[in-house]
Amino acid sequence: MSDLSATERTRHRRLREQGRTDRQALFEVLRAGFVCHLGVVVDGDPMVVPTVYGFDDDHLYVHGSVASHSLTRDTTVCVTITHVDGLVLARSVFEHGVNYRSAMIYGVPRALEGDEKFDALRCLTEHVAPGQWDHARRPNRKELAATTILAVPLAEASVKVREGHPDDADDPHDVWAGVLPLTPSWQAPVTDPLAAAHPVPPHILARAGASL
């Protein structure tokens, strides 16, 4: 697995010990979530939009309405993904922090059409809810025409990870210090009343961590 790019935009300047340089670290951050923040400049003003994503070895895929101003193309965007793993509660307020995993991706997105667009929608759907592409109705021509899919290259990215206990072990203030972990989890599926005749499908139960 090759290393991540080290450009002026992705070079680790502060807290370099938290930086990760291998692409596997990027994929681990991407696999762990499904919501990113897409940063763009629209008519001279910054805009940051939360949106779901999918990805493969080379691209991150985001989607939205064809009327969306945030789904710009032919200009550089910045996409971020962040996972909070816990609060780091130190002996001094100054040393408090957060255990986290994050990625920042820069690139010029490309709008997809035809088979590429269809395959990217499948990639996005399967990342969010594995098994759902074969379970639900797939998009028709009208729905595809109303949707923009952008492919953002993964060629320029930065990853940082903070883990462990507070860094102020030598602080003389003698109080409790440590980490308050945070672990998000899915809850039991809630069936739409209009679908009450159907059992929850196995792939949804698996996603929720429930037993069959």
211 — pLDDT class (breaks 50, 70, 90): very low
> For residue 131, which of 140, 122, 121 has the smallest C-alpha distance?
122
Residue 75, C-beta contacts closer than 8 angstroms, at least 6 positions apart: 40, 41, 108
Pick the CATH number of 16-165 from 1.10.150.120, 3.30.70.100, 2.30.110.10, 2.40.50.100: 2.30.110.10
Judge contact between 4 and 21, C-beta under 8 A.
yes
Using an 8 Å Cβ cutoff, are 59 and 111 in contact?
no
Q: How confident is the model at residue 2 (pLDDT cuts 50, 70, 90)?
A: low
Cα–Cα dist 68/171, whole Å: 51
Q: Where in the chain is the domain with CATH 2.30.110.10?
A: 16-165
Q: How far apart are CA 18 and CA 94, in angstroms?
A: 18
| Pick from 39, 42, 27: nearest CA to 157 | 27
Residue 34 near residue 66 (C-beta atoms within 8 A): no
Whole-structure pTM value: 0.88
pLDDT, tens digit, for every residue of 80-133? 999 999 999 999 999 999 999 999 999 999 999 999 999 999 999 999 999 999
